Amino acid sequence: MICLGNICRSPMAAAVATKMVAQGGLADQVLVESFGTAGYHAGEPMNPGARAALKRHGWPSDGHLARRITPADARAADLLLVADHSNLADVRRLTGERDRAKIRLLRSFDPRSLPADLEVPDPWGGSPADFDHALDLIEAACVGLVEHLASELL
């Protein structure tokens, strides 16, 4: 899971996907991690707004420390799921040609999303409602993601 700062969207997405992966019986096969394309917040915990939204929605929110993605991280992953088109462009610059097929917008896994609206908007500096909205979109996408993983792996 990849966003810009790795303190809001991608850690929320990793928390949700990790729990859904476990609920789907895939914990032995799938490791979910999160990264930022920028290092502004490296070493910092999750943004308080993101933590609070996870708590409101009943997801775990502990133990995150922000990291900037490296080319080696990108190479090691099977899927690189980005929050928005800016992240998509940044990750494309980071990977070799061969790894480009692994990059997808996270919301492309939401069967109800529309092709013109596939971003998780950045809630950083926004209101609790902005964080809740981002988390709603993340949850819908992760349901589709875990269905996809189950169909591939189970």
Which residues are annotated as catalytic? Answer: 3, 9, 122
Place of tokens 């991608």: 10
* Residue 148 Cβ vs ligand 4NP, minimum distance, rounded to whole Å: 23
State the amino acid at position 110 in one-letter form: D
Q: Which of residues 118-137 bind ligand 4NP (CB under 6 A)?
A: 122, 124
Other Cβ atoms closer than 10 A to 129: 10
Quick note: the x/- pattern for ligand 4NP over 27-46, rule CB under 6 A, is -------------xx-----
* Residue 41 Cβ vs ligand 4NP, minimum distance, rounded to whole Å: 6
* Residue 79 Cβ vs ligand 4NP, minimum distance, rounded to whole Å: 18
Under the binding rule (CB under 6 A), the answer on residue 6 touching ligand 4NP is yes
Under the binding rule (CB under 6 A), the answer on residue 3 touching ligand 4NP is yes
User: Residue 70 has what DSSP assignment?
Assistant: -
Q: Which of residues 46-105 bind ligand 4NP (CB under 6 A)?
A: none
Torsion of CA 92, 97, 102, 105, to 10 degrees: 30
Distances (CA, A) of 110 to 48, 69, 106, 120, 145: 26, 24, 8, 11, 7
